[in-house]
C-alpha cells in the first residue's frame, strides 16, 4: 500500500501546547519595549531558579550555563573536555544525535552494547572492562532515549563506584526527559551524588518535559571552572539565549511539576494505546518503557536474514514508511531491528498508524 499521507511516529518533539504561564511571561517581556541582552551564561534569575531545583545537590548558580537548547549544552561540554583521540563510552541503544555531536566535537564513539532481554542493565563489570586510558566521558541518557529505561539509585551507585576509580573520566548525564516518567519515584539526577573529583556533568532542556518546543532553551551544569569555559565558548561562537525565551523557561521552571503532570495526563491514554497495539502484533516484543513518550519495540523477527543487520533494519523502516508510518530506525541508535515510536501525537493519528503497522507486517 502506498500511503499518500505519512503519519510520523518519528519526531522527538511532542504535540504539546506551550505552558500558558511561560507564554505570558515571554509576551510581557516582548510588550515591555526594548529588550535587555542577557549575560552570556544566562539570566541570574533563571540560573538561581535552576540551582534551587537541584537544592538537595547543593548546586550553585555559577555552575549553570543557559544554552540555546540541549544540543549546544552537550556540544559545549564535549568540546571543553575532549582531547585529540579521546573516546566517549556510549551505552547503546542511545539517542542517535549523540554520534554526530561527539564526532563534531572531535571525539570517538565507543559503544557499550546493552541488551533488551537484560532490561538494558548497565553492569559495573561490563563498564569497568570497557573503560580504557582513552575513555574520557561516560555518556548516559536518563531516562534513556530511545528505550525509556530509567537508571535508578542503586544501579547508578554501582556505576559511579566504578567511575570514581578513574579520576580522568567524566560522567555526562542527559536528563532532558526527567519529568516524563510513569514510575512512582522521580528519576534521580546525577547531581544528587557527591562528586569529590568534579566528574559529574549534566545537561537538560525545556523542549521535552516542560513543553517549550522550539523555544531553544537548555542548560548545562558543571564544576565552576568548566562552566566558565563553556560560557566563554558560547561567547565566542554564539549568543546568549534571548531574554523572552529565558523568562518563559523561568516560568516553566517555577511550575515544572504542574506542567509535567499535565503532560503525563495527556500522554497516559496514548501510551496504553500504543503499548497494547504493539503487544497485539505477532512476533513483536516491546518491554513497557517507564519513561519518555517512546516505545522501542523489537522487530528483529521481521528482518531479512540475507542482509546485514543495518541494511535489514533500514529495509524494514522503508517498508513501514511505504505503508504510511514513519519511525526512527533503531540502527541509528545502535540497535538494528528495533524502532523508536513516539506516542506524543493525536490519538486518531496513533490509532491509524497502528492499523497501518499491523497491515504492513502481515
Ligand X SMILES: Cc1ncc(COP(=O)(O)O)c(C=O)c1O
- Interaction between residue 70 and ligand X (CB under 6 A): yes
Figure out which of the listed residues 14, 18, 205, 297 binds ligand X, where binding follows CB under 6 A: 205
CB-based burial of residue 200 (10 Å sphere; 0-12 exposed, 13-18 middle, 19+ buried)?
A: buried
Stretch that binds ligand X, among 64-72, 77-85, 106-114, 237-245 (CB under 6 A): 64-72
Stretch that binds ligand X, among 67-75, 76-84, 126-134, 182-190 (CB under 6 A): 67-75
Closer Cβ to ligand X, 177 or 302, answer by number: 177
Number of H helices, E strands in the chain: 11, 12
What are the C-alpha distances in Å from 145 to residues 116, 126, 202, 330, 334?
14, 21, 15, 11, 12
| Alpha helices (H) along 134-286 | 153-163, 224-237, 243-254, 256-279
Closer Cβ to ligand X, 146 or 324, answer by number: 146
Site string for ligand X, 93-122 (x = CB under 6 A): --x-x-------------------------
- Interaction between residue 244 and ligand X (CB under 6 A): no
Given a contact cutoff of 8 angstroms between Cβ atoms, the answer to whether 49 and 64 are in contact is no
162-191 residues in contact with ligand X (CB under 6 A) are: 174, 176
Neighbours of 315 (CB within 10 A): 14
Closer Cβ to ligand X, 95 or 151, answer by number: 95
- Interaction between residue 18 and ligand X (CB under 6 A): no
List all residues 6 or more positions away from 306 whose beta carbon is below 8 Å from its beta carbon: none
Figure out which of the listed residues 18, 19, 69, 289 binds ligand X, where binding follows CB under 6 A: 69
What gap in Å lies between CA 147 and CA 295, rounded to an integer?
7
Figure out which of the listed residues 7, 12, 65, 300 binds ligand X, where binding follows CB under 6 A: 12
What gap in Å lies between CA 89 and CA 171, rounded to an integer?
10
Closer Cβ to ligand X, 16 or 302, answer by number: 16
Closer Cβ to ligand X, 205 or 336, answer by number: 205
Which segments of 72-199 are extended strands (E)?
A: 87-92, 108-113, 135-141, 170-174
- Interaction between residue 71 and ligand X (CB under 6 A): yes
Q: Which residues bind ligand X (CB under 6 A)?
A: 12, 69-71, 95, 97, 141, 145, 174, 176, 205, 207, 218
Amino acid at each position: 500500500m502506498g500511503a499518500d499521507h505519512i503519519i510520523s511516529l518519528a519526531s522527538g518533539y511532542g504535540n504539546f501546547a506551550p505552558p500558558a504561564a511561560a507564554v505570558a511571561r515571554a509576551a510581557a517581556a516582548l510588550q515591555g519595549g526594548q529588550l535587555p541582552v542577557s549575560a552570556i551564561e544566562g539570566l541570574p534569575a533563571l540560573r538561581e531558579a535552576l540551582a534551587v531545583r537541584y537544592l538537595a545537590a547543593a548546586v550553585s548558580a555559577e555552575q549553570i550555563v543557559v544554552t540555546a537548547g540541549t544540543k549546544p549544552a552537550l556540544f559545549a561540554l564535549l568540546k571543553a573536555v575532549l582531547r585529540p583521540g579521546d573516546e566517549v563510552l556510549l551505552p547503546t541503544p542511545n539517542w542517535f544525535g549523540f554520534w554526530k555531536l561527539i564526532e563534531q566535537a572531535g571525539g570517538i564513539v565507543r559503544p557499550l552494547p546493552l541488551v533488551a532481554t537484560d532490561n538494558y542493565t548497565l553492569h559495573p563489570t561490563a563498564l569497568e572492562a570497557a573503560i580504557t586510558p582513552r575513555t574520557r566521558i561516560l555518556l548516559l541518557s536518563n531516562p534513556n532515549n530511545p528505550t525509556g529505561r530509567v537508571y535508578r539509585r542503586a544501579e547508578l551507585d554501582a556505576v559511579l563506584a566504578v567511575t570514581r576509580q578513574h579520576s580522568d573520566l567524566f560522567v555526562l548525564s542527559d536528563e532532558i526527559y526527567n519529568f516524563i516518567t510513569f514510575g512512582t519515584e522521580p528519576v534521580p539526577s546525577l547531581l544528587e551524588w557527591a562528586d569529590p573529583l568534579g566528574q559529574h556533568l549534566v545537561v537538560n532542556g525545556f523542549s521535552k518535559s516542560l513543553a517549550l518546543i522550539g523555544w531553544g532553551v537548555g542548560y548545562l551544569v558543571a564544576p565552576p571552572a568548566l562552566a566558565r569555559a563553556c560560557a566563554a565558548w558560547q561567547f565566542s561562537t554564539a549568543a546568549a539565549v534571548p531574554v523572552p525565551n529565558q523568562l518563559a523557561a523561568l516560568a516553566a521552571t517555577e511550575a515544572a511539576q504542574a506542567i509535567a503532570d499535565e503532560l503525563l495526563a495527556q500522554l497516559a491514554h496514548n501510551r496504553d494505546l500504543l503499548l497494547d497495539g504493539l503487544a497485539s502484533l505477532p512476533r513483536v516484543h516491546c518491554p513497557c518503557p517507564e519513561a519518555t513518550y517512546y516505545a522501542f519495540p523489537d522487530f528483529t523477527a521481521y528482518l531479512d536474514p540475507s542482509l546485514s543487520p543495518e541494511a535489514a533494519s533500514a529495509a524494514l523502516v522503508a517498508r513501514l514508511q511505504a505503508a504510511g508510518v514513519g519511525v526512527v530506525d533503531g540502527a541509528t541508535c545502535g540497535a538494528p531491528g528495533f524502532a523508536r515510536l513516539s506516542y506524543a501525537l493525536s490519538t486518531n493519528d496513533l490509532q491509524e498508524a497502528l492499523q497501518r503497522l499491523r497491515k504492513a507486517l502481515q
